[in-house]
């Protein structure tokens, strides 16, 4: 199969088949926001990919290329990686929308300096971004969207069998379109709070012009923080509804990716 024969016959062929199937699943887990975080041990991802690959090998007739280490075999492996990364990247876009909204809100509240390490990306993000990340993660798991996503990963072997894994410009355009939708959702999440903060800043500016002796920074920063927290509490139902819709749309976009 690969130019190497260790003398195990059919058992060896099943091993390389399992390893080939794990390529797409492993790429999807690495790109997904929940399973590809630095806090998740790589050994756990390998075990999860192997467990899912065993089920796929039992449920589907997928086979590894005849010469896995040849040029055509490596191209097939690259195609598997491409499909897996695409399936996980859509979820990554969905989880990025609340963090982007937190960037907008933090800048309006004057809390841009309050940053922490984002466990999903390992980069610096606002403190509000951690709160929004927790909310979207809890809602995503509560809806069972992660199970639906795993089901779509399994179904991807029927839509994109090995050797037919080139997505094409139409599907890449769909991924780019979902990225546009992600930016729109981020603006919708940040809009209520940003509107309240805009009103507070206008009122603070009027007060500073009416009474020049007032310290604008001593008055504006606490007022902005308090108004932002109050607006976040009031707009919590809106945030929940938008995140629920975003999770459903992410699963829908992943499903549309596999339509002919």
* Averaged confidence pLDDT in the chain: 79
pLDDT of residue 1: 44
Task: Taking residues 11-39, report their average pLDDT.
Answer: 81
Instruction: List, for residues 151-171, the tens digit of each pLDDT value.
Output: 888 888 888 887 777 777 888
* pLDDT for residue 122: 59
**pTM metric for this prediction:** 0.77
The per-residue pLDDT for 126 is 67
> Each residue of 168-195: pLDDT tens digit?
788 888 888 888 888 888 888 888 888 8
List pLDDT tens digits, range 212-254.
666 666 666 777 778 878 888 888 888 888 888 888 888 888 8
DSSP the chain: --S---S-THHHHHHHHHHHHHHHHHHHHHHSTTTSSTTS-HHHHHHHHHHHHHHHHHHS-----SSTTSHHHHHHHHHHHHHHHHHHHHHHHHHHHHHHHHHHHHHHHT-TT-EEE-TTTSSEEEHHHHHHHHHHHHHHHHTTHHHHHHHHHHHHHHHS-TT-----HHHHHHHHHHHHHHHHHHHHHHHHHHHHHHHHHHHHHHHHHH-TTS-HHHHHHHHHHHHHHHHHHHTHHHHHHHHHHHHHHHHHHHHHHT--
Mean pLDDT of 104-108: 79
Q: Label residue 2 by pLDDT band (50, 70, 90).
A: very low
Percent of the chain with pLDDT over 70: 83
Q: Does position 4 have pLDDT exceeding 70, yes or no?
A: no
């Amino acid at each position: 199969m690969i130019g190497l024969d260790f003398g195990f016959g059919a058992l060896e062929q099943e091993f390389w088949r399992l390893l080939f199937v794990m390529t797409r699943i492993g790429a999807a887990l690495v790109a997904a926001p929940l399973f590809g975080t630095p806090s998740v041990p790589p050994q756990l991802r390998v075990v999860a990919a192997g467990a899912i690959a065993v089920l796929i090998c039992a449920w589907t007739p997928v086979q590894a290329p005849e010469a896995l280490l040849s040029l055509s075999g490596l191209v097939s492996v690259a195609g598997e990686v491409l499909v897996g990364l695409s399936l996980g990247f859509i979820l990554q876009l969905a989880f990025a929308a609340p963090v982007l909204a937190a960037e907008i809100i933090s800048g309006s509240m004057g809390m841009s300096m309050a940053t922490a390490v984002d466990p999903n990306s390992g980069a610096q993000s606002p403190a509000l971004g951690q709160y929004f990340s927790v909310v979207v993660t809890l809602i995503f798991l509560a809806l069972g969207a992660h199970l639906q996503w795993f089901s779509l990963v399994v179904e991807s072997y029927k839509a994109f069998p090995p050797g037919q894994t080139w997505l094409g410009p139409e599907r890449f355009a769909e991924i780019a379109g979902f990225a546009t939708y992600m930016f729109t959702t981020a603006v919708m999440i940040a809009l209520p709070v940003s509107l309240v903060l805009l009103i507070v800043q206008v009122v603070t500016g009027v007060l500073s012009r009416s009474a020049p002796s007032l310290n604008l920074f001593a008055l504006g920063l606490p007022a902005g923080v308090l108004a932002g927290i109050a607006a976040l509490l009031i707009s919590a139902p809106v945030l929940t509804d938008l995140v629920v819709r975003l999770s459903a749309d992410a699963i829908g976009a992943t499903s549309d990716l596999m339509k002919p």
